[in-house]
Amino acid sequence: MFEFSFSTHVCEKNYFASEISTKNAIFAPILLTMKKQEILVTAKSPSNIAVVKYWGKHGCQLPNNPSISFTLSNCFTETSVEYNPKFQCGMQFLFEGVESPKFKEKIEKYIEKHGDLYRFDTEVFSHLKVESRNSFPHSSGIASSASSMSALVLCFLKLEKALNDDATPLDLRRASMLARLASGSASRSVYPVMALWGETPCVSDSSDEYAVPLENMVAPVFKTYHDTILIVSNKEKSVSSRVGHALMEGHPLAEKRYLTARCNTKRLLEALRTADLATFIDIAESEAVQLHELMATSNPPYKLMEPNTLKIIDEVHKFRENTDVPVCFTLDAGPNVHLLFPDEFSEKVNVFINDKLKSYCVDNQYISDIVKVF
Ligand code: DP6
Protein backbone atom coordinates (compact mmCIF):
# COMPACT_ATOMS: atom_id res chain seq x y z
CA MET A 1 0.00 0.00 0.00
CA PHE A 2 1.17 3.52 -0.76
CA GLU A 3 3.06 5.28 1.99
CA PHE A 4 2.86 9.07 1.97
CA SER A 5 6.01 11.07 2.36
CA PHE A 6 4.60 12.99 5.26
CA SER A 7 5.46 12.73 8.88
CA THR A 8 3.90 13.31 12.25
CA HIS A 9 5.91 15.08 14.87
CA VAL A 10 4.73 14.80 18.41
CA CYS A 11 7.02 16.86 20.63
CA GLU A 12 9.92 14.78 21.94
CA LYS A 13 8.97 15.04 25.60
CA ASN A 14 5.61 13.55 24.68
CA TYR A 15 7.02 10.43 23.05
CA PHE A 16 8.48 9.67 26.43
CA ALA A 17 5.07 10.20 28.01
CA SER A 18 3.34 7.74 25.73
CA GLU A 19 6.04 5.16 26.35
CA ILE A 20 5.55 5.47 30.08
CA SER A 21 1.79 5.24 29.66
CA THR A 22 2.13 1.66 28.49
CA LYS A 23 4.64 0.77 31.18
CA ASN A 24 3.12 2.45 34.19
CA ALA A 25 -0.63 2.74 34.27
CA ILE A 26 -0.66 4.94 37.39
CA PHE A 27 1.27 7.75 35.74
CA ALA A 28 -0.37 7.35 32.39
CA PRO A 29 -3.40 9.65 32.72
CA ILE A 30 -1.37 12.64 33.92
CA LEU A 31 1.34 12.13 31.38
CA LEU A 32 -1.11 11.61 28.56
CA THR A 33 -2.79 14.89 29.41
CA MET A 34 0.63 16.47 29.13
CA LYS A 35 1.15 14.78 25.81
CA LYS A 36 -1.97 16.35 24.43
CA GLN A 37 -0.72 19.84 25.18
CA GLU A 38 1.15 20.27 21.92
CA ILE A 39 0.90 18.19 18.80
CA LEU A 40 2.38 19.04 15.43
CA VAL A 41 1.52 17.00 12.36
CA THR A 42 2.53 17.56 8.75
CA ALA A 43 1.38 16.12 5.44
CA LYS A 44 2.37 16.50 1.83
CA SER A 45 -0.17 15.67 -0.85
CA PRO A 46 0.01 15.91 -4.64
CA SER A 47 -2.24 17.47 -7.21
CA ASN A 48 -3.86 15.28 -9.88
CA ILE A 49 -5.02 15.71 -13.46
CA ALA A 50 -8.25 14.04 -14.55
CA VAL A 51 -8.47 12.21 -17.87
CA VAL A 52 -12.17 11.39 -17.45
CA LYS A 53 -13.56 14.50 -15.80
CA TYR A 54 -15.77 14.96 -12.75
CA TRP A 55 -18.17 17.74 -13.68
CA GLY A 56 -21.52 17.86 -11.93
CA LYS A 57 -22.41 16.59 -8.46
CA HIS A 58 -25.37 15.92 -6.20
CA GLY A 59 -26.19 15.32 -2.54
CA CYS A 60 -23.24 15.53 -0.21
CA GLN A 61 -20.38 15.90 -2.68
CA LEU A 62 -21.34 12.84 -4.72
CA PRO A 63 -20.23 12.79 -8.37
CA ASN A 64 -22.69 12.47 -11.24
CA ASN A 65 -20.22 10.28 -13.10
CA PRO A 66 -16.98 8.39 -12.38
CA SER A 67 -13.64 10.11 -13.02
CA ILE A 68 -10.08 8.86 -13.52
CA SER A 69 -6.89 10.83 -12.90
CA PHE A 70 -3.10 10.68 -12.84
CA THR A 71 -1.51 11.60 -9.52
CA LEU A 72 1.35 14.09 -9.97
CA SER A 73 4.75 14.37 -8.28
CA ASN A 74 6.01 17.92 -8.45
CA CYS A 75 2.81 19.89 -7.88
CA PHE A 76 1.94 19.34 -4.24
CA THR A 77 0.79 21.07 -1.07
CA GLU A 78 2.58 20.77 2.24
CA THR A 79 0.49 21.47 5.31
CA SER A 80 1.20 21.51 9.01
CA VAL A 81 -1.37 21.50 11.77
CA GLU A 82 -0.37 22.46 15.27
CA TYR A 83 -2.71 21.73 18.13
CA ASN A 84 -2.24 23.60 21.37
CA PRO A 85 -5.07 24.12 23.90
CA LYS A 86 -3.36 27.43 24.73
CA PHE A 87 -4.34 28.77 21.26
CA GLN A 88 -7.44 30.67 22.28
CA CYS A 89 -8.42 32.76 19.24
CA GLY A 90 -10.04 30.04 17.14
CA MET A 91 -8.37 28.33 14.22
CA GLN A 92 -5.56 30.27 12.60
CA PHE A 93 -4.71 29.71 8.93
CA LEU A 94 -1.63 30.86 7.08
CA PHE A 95 -1.01 30.28 3.38
CA GLU A 96 2.65 30.72 2.51
CA GLY A 97 3.13 32.65 5.71
CA VAL A 98 0.23 35.06 5.16
CA GLU A 99 -3.28 34.90 6.65
CA SER A 100 -5.81 33.85 4.03
CA PRO A 101 -9.42 34.57 5.08
CA LYS A 102 -10.84 32.96 1.91
CA PHE A 103 -9.18 29.60 2.43
CA LYS A 104 -9.78 29.76 6.18
CA GLU A 105 -13.50 30.15 5.54
CA LYS A 106 -13.43 27.06 3.29
CA ILE A 107 -11.76 25.01 6.02
CA GLU A 108 -14.16 26.33 8.66
CA LYS A 109 -17.17 25.36 6.53
CA TYR A 110 -15.71 21.87 6.09
CA ILE A 111 -15.14 21.52 9.83
CA GLU A 112 -18.64 22.79 10.60
CA LYS A 113 -20.22 20.24 8.25
CA HIS A 114 -17.92 17.26 8.66
CA GLY A 115 -15.72 17.86 11.71
CA ASP A 116 -17.70 15.30 13.72
CA LEU A 117 -16.45 12.53 11.40
CA TYR A 118 -13.03 12.75 13.07
CA ARG A 119 -12.47 10.75 16.23
CA PHE A 120 -11.76 13.66 18.54
CA ASP A 121 -13.74 16.40 20.22
CA THR A 122 -14.68 19.08 17.65
CA GLU A 123 -13.47 21.61 20.26
CA VAL A 124 -9.94 20.64 19.16
CA PHE A 125 -10.51 22.47 15.84
CA SER A 126 -10.67 25.82 17.61
CA HIS A 127 -7.14 25.37 19.02
CA LEU A 128 -5.32 24.83 15.73
CA LYS A 129 -2.72 26.69 13.74
CA VAL A 130 -2.79 25.51 10.13
CA GLU A 131 0.02 26.46 7.74
CA SER A 132 0.08 25.54 4.09
CA ARG A 133 2.29 26.06 1.07
CA ASN A 134 2.25 24.90 -2.53
CA SER A 135 5.27 23.66 -4.48
CA PHE A 136 3.95 25.44 -7.57
CA PRO A 137 3.80 29.22 -7.89
CA HIS A 138 0.43 30.48 -6.68
CA SER A 139 0.11 32.72 -9.69
CA SER A 140 0.41 29.78 -12.08
CA GLY A 141 -3.32 29.33 -12.54
CA ILE A 142 -3.02 25.73 -11.28
CA ALA A 143 -6.02 24.63 -9.27
CA SER A 144 -4.87 23.58 -5.85
CA SER A 145 -7.99 22.31 -4.13
CA ALA A 146 -7.11 18.62 -4.73
CA SER A 147 -3.65 18.88 -3.17
CA SER A 148 -4.52 21.40 -0.47
CA MET A 149 -7.68 19.72 0.79
CA SER A 150 -6.17 16.22 0.74
CA ALA A 151 -3.08 17.48 2.63
CA LEU A 152 -5.35 19.10 5.22
CA VAL A 153 -7.43 15.95 5.67
CA LEU A 154 -4.28 13.85 6.05
CA CYS A 155 -3.11 16.25 8.77
CA PHE A 156 -6.44 15.94 10.60
CA LEU A 157 -6.19 12.14 10.42
CA LYS A 158 -2.63 12.25 11.78
CA LEU A 159 -3.85 14.54 14.54
CA GLU A 160 -6.63 12.07 15.28
CA LYS A 161 -4.05 9.28 15.59
CA ALA A 162 -1.83 11.33 17.86
CA LEU A 163 -4.73 12.32 20.12
CA ASN A 164 -5.88 8.71 20.38
CA ASP A 165 -2.42 7.14 20.67
CA ASP A 166 -3.32 5.10 17.62
CA ALA A 167 -0.30 3.61 15.88
CA THR A 168 -2.19 1.72 13.16
CA PRO A 169 -1.44 2.65 9.51
CA LEU A 170 -3.51 5.33 7.89
CA ASP A 171 -6.72 4.10 6.26
CA LEU A 172 -6.41 5.62 2.77
CA ARG A 173 -9.99 4.79 1.83
CA ARG A 174 -11.28 6.77 4.80
CA ALA A 175 -8.80 9.55 3.95
CA SER A 176 -10.20 9.60 0.41
CA MET A 177 -13.79 9.76 1.68
CA LEU A 178 -12.99 12.64 4.05
CA ALA A 179 -11.03 14.45 1.31
CA ARG A 180 -13.97 14.03 -1.10
CA LEU A 181 -16.18 15.90 1.34
CA ALA A 182 -13.71 18.81 1.21
CA SER A 183 -13.22 18.79 -2.57
CA GLY A 184 -14.28 16.05 -4.98
CA SER A 185 -11.01 15.85 -6.90
CA ALA A 186 -9.07 15.66 -3.60
CA SER A 187 -10.47 12.14 -3.08
CA ARG A 188 -8.19 10.92 -5.89
CA SER A 189 -4.99 12.56 -4.61
CA VAL A 190 -4.41 10.10 -1.76
CA TYR A 191 -3.22 7.32 -4.11
CA PRO A 192 -0.12 7.16 -6.33
CA VAL A 193 -0.14 6.57 -10.11
CA MET A 194 -3.85 6.74 -10.99
CA ALA A 195 -7.17 6.72 -9.15
CA LEU A 196 -10.82 6.15 -9.95
CA TRP A 197 -13.54 7.99 -8.05
CA GLY A 198 -17.16 7.03 -8.64
CA GLU A 199 -19.04 3.80 -9.00
CA THR A 200 -18.62 1.80 -12.19
CA PRO A 201 -19.56 -1.84 -12.87
CA CYS A 202 -16.02 -2.32 -14.26
CA VAL A 203 -14.30 -2.06 -10.85
CA SER A 204 -15.87 -4.06 -8.05
CA ASP A 205 -14.93 -1.89 -5.07
CA SER A 206 -15.47 1.46 -6.80
CA SER A 207 -17.70 3.93 -5.01
CA ASP A 208 -19.17 7.41 -5.22
CA GLU A 209 -18.07 7.89 -1.60
CA TYR A 210 -14.32 7.47 -2.10
CA ALA A 211 -11.68 6.88 -4.74
CA VAL A 212 -9.83 3.61 -5.26
CA PRO A 213 -6.25 3.12 -6.52
CA LEU A 214 -5.74 1.96 -10.11
CA GLU A 215 -2.03 1.29 -9.68
CA ASN A 216 -2.46 -2.45 -10.26
CA MET A 217 -4.84 -2.02 -13.17
CA VAL A 218 -2.67 0.02 -15.53
CA ALA A 219 0.02 -1.04 -18.01
CA PRO A 220 3.61 -0.02 -17.09
CA VAL A 221 3.74 2.73 -19.75
CA PHE A 222 1.19 4.82 -17.82
CA LYS A 223 3.45 4.83 -14.77
CA THR A 224 6.00 6.76 -16.85
CA TYR A 225 3.62 9.48 -18.03
CA HIS A 226 4.62 13.12 -17.99
CA ASP A 227 2.24 16.02 -17.51
CA THR A 228 3.78 19.25 -18.74
CA ILE A 229 1.54 22.16 -17.81
CA LEU A 230 1.72 25.03 -20.28
CA ILE A 231 0.80 28.23 -18.45
CA VAL A 232 -1.39 30.13 -20.91
CA SER A 233 -2.75 32.36 -18.17
CA ASN A 234 -1.75 32.77 -14.54
CA LYS A 235 -4.83 34.75 -13.53
CA GLU A 236 -7.45 33.43 -11.16
CA LYS A 237 -10.25 31.96 -13.28
CA SER A 238 -13.40 34.01 -13.74
CA VAL A 239 -15.80 31.18 -12.85
CA SER A 240 -14.93 28.77 -10.05
CA SER A 241 -15.35 24.98 -10.32
CA ARG A 242 -17.96 25.20 -7.54
CA VAL A 243 -20.10 27.43 -9.78
CA GLY A 244 -19.34 25.25 -12.82
CA HIS A 245 -20.56 22.11 -11.07
CA ALA A 246 -23.74 23.90 -10.01
CA LEU A 247 -24.42 24.98 -13.61
CA MET A 248 -24.66 21.30 -14.58
CA GLU A 249 -28.00 21.17 -12.75
CA GLY A 250 -30.65 21.49 -15.42
CA HIS A 251 -27.97 21.72 -18.14
CA PRO A 252 -29.51 20.62 -21.48
CA LEU A 253 -26.58 18.26 -22.19
CA ALA A 254 -26.22 16.88 -18.65
CA GLU A 255 -27.70 13.41 -19.09
CA LYS A 256 -25.82 12.85 -22.34
CA ARG A 257 -22.61 13.99 -20.68
CA TYR A 258 -22.99 11.55 -17.76
CA LEU A 259 -23.64 8.66 -20.18
CA THR A 260 -20.56 9.59 -22.24
CA ALA A 261 -18.41 9.86 -19.11
CA ARG A 262 -19.55 6.42 -17.93
CA CYS A 263 -18.76 4.97 -21.35
CA ASN A 264 -15.36 6.76 -21.41
CA THR A 265 -14.57 5.38 -17.94
CA LYS A 266 -15.15 1.85 -19.20
CA ARG A 267 -13.15 2.43 -22.39
CA LEU A 268 -10.32 4.15 -20.53
CA LEU A 269 -10.00 1.36 -17.97
CA GLU A 270 -9.60 -1.10 -20.82
CA ALA A 271 -7.11 1.16 -22.66
CA LEU A 272 -5.08 1.57 -19.46
CA ARG A 273 -4.96 -2.19 -18.98
CA THR A 274 -3.98 -2.98 -22.57
CA ALA A 275 -1.65 0.02 -23.16
CA ASP A 276 -3.91 1.20 -25.99
CA LEU A 277 -2.43 4.68 -26.44
CA ALA A 278 -4.64 5.61 -29.40
CA THR A 279 -7.81 5.12 -27.35
CA PHE A 280 -6.20 6.88 -24.39
CA ILE A 281 -5.49 9.93 -26.59
CA ASP A 282 -8.97 9.89 -28.06
CA ILE A 283 -10.61 9.86 -24.63
CA ALA A 284 -8.26 12.39 -23.01
CA GLU A 285 -8.79 14.99 -25.73
CA SER A 286 -12.53 14.50 -26.17
CA GLU A 287 -13.08 14.71 -22.38
CA ALA A 288 -11.14 17.98 -22.27
CA VAL A 289 -13.04 19.53 -25.15
CA GLN A 290 -16.37 18.30 -23.76
CA LEU A 291 -15.68 19.91 -20.38
CA HIS A 292 -15.26 23.28 -22.09
CA GLU A 293 -18.25 22.70 -24.37
CA LEU A 294 -20.36 22.17 -21.26
CA MET A 295 -19.21 25.56 -19.99
CA ALA A 296 -19.98 27.18 -23.35
CA THR A 297 -23.52 25.73 -23.38
CA SER A 298 -24.47 26.31 -19.74
CA ASN A 299 -26.86 29.01 -18.61
CA PRO A 300 -25.25 31.54 -18.41
CA PRO A 301 -22.58 30.38 -20.84
CA TYR A 302 -18.93 31.10 -20.14
CA LYS A 303 -15.51 30.30 -21.51
CA LEU A 304 -12.23 29.68 -19.75
CA MET A 305 -10.11 28.85 -22.79
CA GLU A 306 -7.89 31.58 -24.24
CA PRO A 307 -6.89 32.02 -27.90
CA ASN A 308 -3.47 30.52 -27.07
CA THR A 309 -5.16 27.42 -25.62
CA LEU A 310 -6.60 26.71 -29.08
CA LYS A 311 -3.31 27.52 -30.83
CA ILE A 312 -1.49 24.99 -28.64
CA ILE A 313 -4.17 22.36 -29.32
CA ASP A 314 -3.69 22.89 -33.09
CA GLU A 315 0.08 22.57 -32.74
CA VAL A 316 -0.29 19.32 -30.74
CA HIS A 317 -2.52 17.83 -33.44
CA LYS A 318 -0.09 18.81 -36.20
CA PHE A 319 2.92 17.50 -34.26
CA ARG A 320 1.24 14.16 -33.60
CA GLU A 321 0.24 13.76 -37.23
CA ASN A 322 3.74 14.56 -38.46
CA THR A 323 5.75 12.57 -35.94
CA ASP A 324 3.57 9.76 -34.58
CA VAL A 325 4.69 10.75 -31.09
CA PRO A 326 1.74 9.79 -28.83
CA VAL A 327 1.48 13.14 -27.08
CA CYS A 328 -1.98 14.51 -26.31
CA PHE A 329 -3.55 17.33 -24.35
CA THR A 330 -6.05 17.64 -21.59
CA LEU A 331 -7.51 20.70 -19.90
CA ASP A 332 -8.66 21.41 -16.40
CA ALA A 333 -11.33 24.01 -15.69
CA GLY A 334 -9.01 26.74 -16.99
CA PRO A 335 -7.00 27.87 -20.02
CA ASN A 336 -3.73 26.04 -19.25
CA VAL A 337 -2.89 23.04 -21.39
CA HIS A 338 -1.66 19.77 -19.87
CA LEU A 339 0.50 17.74 -22.27
CA LEU A 340 0.41 14.02 -21.51
CA PHE A 341 3.06 11.69 -22.94
CA PRO A 342 5.10 8.58 -22.05
CA ASP A 343 8.64 9.08 -20.78
CA GLU A 344 10.29 7.46 -23.81
CA PHE A 345 9.12 10.41 -25.93
CA SER A 346 10.13 13.14 -23.49
CA GLU A 347 13.19 14.30 -25.44
CA LYS A 348 11.17 14.83 -28.64
CA VAL A 349 8.29 16.49 -26.79
CA ASN A 350 10.64 18.80 -24.89
CA VAL A 351 12.16 20.00 -28.18
CA PHE A 352 8.62 20.58 -29.49
CA ILE A 353 7.70 22.55 -26.34
CA ASN A 354 10.79 24.72 -26.58
CA ASP A 355 10.53 25.29 -30.34
CA LYS A 356 6.78 25.79 -30.71
CA LEU A 357 4.68 25.83 -27.56
CA LYS A 358 6.62 27.87 -25.02
CA SER A 359 5.95 31.08 -26.92
CA TYR A 360 2.19 30.70 -26.29
CA CYS A 361 2.79 30.68 -22.52
CA VAL A 362 2.91 33.63 -20.12
CA ASP A 363 6.61 34.52 -19.79
CA ASN A 364 7.40 31.22 -21.58
CA GLN A 365 6.32 29.51 -18.38
CA TYR A 366 5.53 25.82 -18.05
CA ILE A 367 5.72 23.23 -15.26
CA SER A 368 7.17 19.78 -15.88
CA ASP A 369 5.50 17.11 -13.84
CA ILE A 370 5.42 13.33 -13.91
CA VAL A 371 3.18 10.63 -12.49
CA LYS A 372 3.77 9.82 -8.84
CA VAL A 373 4.75 6.19 -8.55
CA PHE A 374 5.39 5.58 -4.85
C1 DP6 B 1 -12.54 20.12 -13.93
O2 DP6 B 1 -12.84 18.95 -7.23
O3 DP6 B 1 -12.39 21.37 -7.75
O4 DP6 B 1 -10.90 19.62 -12.29
O5 DP6 B 1 -15.71 19.19 -5.48
O6 DP6 B 1 -16.44 21.53 -5.83
O7 DP6 B 1 -14.16 21.06 -4.91
P8 DP6 B 1 -15.29 20.58 -5.79
O9 DP6 B 1 -14.73 20.60 -7.29
P10 DP6 B 1 -13.31 20.21 -7.84
O11 DP6 B 1 -13.69 19.95 -9.39
C12 DP6 B 1 -12.72 19.48 -10.27
C13 DP6 B 1 -13.21 19.55 -11.65
C14 DP6 B 1 -12.19 19.27 -12.71
C15 DP6 B 1 -12.24 17.84 -13.18
C16 DP6 B 1 -11.65 16.80 -12.26
O17 DP6 B 1 -10.66 17.05 -11.56
O18 DP6 B 1 -12.18 15.67 -12.32
Residue nearest to atom 6 of ligand 1 (CA): 242
Q: Which residue has the higher pLDDT, 109 or 140?
A: 109
pLDDT, tens digit, for every residue of 180-219? 999 999 999 999 999 999 999 999 999 999 999 999 999 9
**Percent of the chain clearing pLDDT 70 (strictly above):** 89
Residues 254-275, mean pLDDT to the nearest whole number: 98
Q: Please state the φ and ψ torsions of residue 255, each to the nearest 5 degrees.
A: -60, -40
Checking if the pLDDT of 11 tops 50, the result is: no
pLDDT band for position 141 (50/70/90)?
A: low
Residues 15-20, mean pLDDT to the nearest whole number: 26
Checking if the pLDDT of 8 tops 80, the result is: no
What pLDDT, on a 0 to 100 scale, did the predictor assign at position 237? 83
Checking if the pLDDT of 7 tops 90, the result is: no
For residues 49 and 14, the answer to whether their CB atoms sit within 8 Å is no
Pocket test for ligand 1, best of 142, 185, 227, 330 (most atoms within 8 A of CB): 185
For residues 323 and 330, the answer to whether their CB atoms sit within 8 Å is no
Q: How far is the CA of 67 from the centre of ligand 1 (A)?
A: 10
What pLDDT, on a 0 to 100 scale, did the predictor assign at position 3? 30
Q: How far is the CA of 120 from the centre of ligand 1 (A)?
A: 29
Pocket test for ligand 1, best of 49, 54, 114 (most atoms within 8 A of CB): 54
pLDDT band for position 23 (50/70/90)?
A: very low
245 alpha-carbon distance from chain centroid: 16
Pocket test for ligand 1, best of 240, 241, 338 (most atoms within 8 A of CB): 241
Residue nearest to atom 8 of ligand 1 (CA): 183
Residue nearest to atom 12 of ligand 1 (CA): 185
What pLDDT, on a 0 to 100 scale, did the predictor assign at position 374? 85
What pLDDT, on a 0 to 100 scale, did the predictor assign at position 5? 33
Q: How far is the CA of 28 from the centre of ligand 1 (A)?
A: 45
**Percent of the chain clearing pLDDT 90 (strictly above):** 85
Considering the chain, what is the average pLDDT of its residues?
A: 90
Give residues (CB < 6 A) around ligand 1: 50, 53-55, 61, 67, 145, 183-185, 241-242, 245, 291, 332-333
- Please give the number of the atom of ligand 1 that sits closest to the Cα of 242: 6
Of 369, 195, 343, give the one whose Cα is nearest residue 269. Answer: 195
What pLDDT, on a 0 to 100 scale, did the predictor assign at position 312? 98
pLDDT band for position 236 (50/70/90)?
A: confident
Q: How far is the CA of 29 from the centre of ligand 1 (A)?
A: 44
pLDDT band for position 248 (50/70/90)?
A: very high
C-alpha to C-alpha distance for 208 and 73, rounded to whole angstroms: 25
276 alpha-carbon distance from chain centroid: 25
Among the listed ranges 138-152, 183-197, 288-302, 356-370, which one has the minimum average pLDDT value? 138-152
Q: How far is the CA of 206 from the centre of ligand 1 (A)?
A: 18
Checking if the pLDDT of 245 tops 80, the result is: yes
Residue nearest to atom 3 of ligand 1 (CA): 241
Checking if the pLDDT of 235 tops 60, the result is: yes
pLDDT, tens digit, for every residue of 71-114? 999 999 999 999 999 999 899 999 999 999 999 999 999 999 99
What pLDDT, on a 0 to 100 scale, did the predictor assign at position 36? 61
Q: How far is the CA of 184 from the centre of ligand 1 (A)?
A: 6
pLDDT, tens digit, for every residue of 50-72? 999 999 999 999 999 999 999 99
- Please give the number of the atom of ligand 1 that sits closest to the Cα of 291: 1
For residues 67 and 199, the answer to whether their CB atoms sit within 8 Å is no
- Please give the number of the atom of ligand 1 that sits closest to the Cα of 182: 7
Q: How far is the CA of 236 from the centre of ligand 1 (A)?
A: 15
pLDDT, tens digit, for every residue of 313-343? 999 999 999 999 999 999 999 999 999 999 9
Q: How far is the CA of 297 from the centre of ligand 1 (A)?
A: 18
Q: How far is the CA of 185 from the centre of ligand 1 (A)?
A: 5
Residues 336-365, mean pLDDT to the nearest whole number: 98
Q: How far is the CA of 157 from the centre of ligand 1 (A)?
A: 22
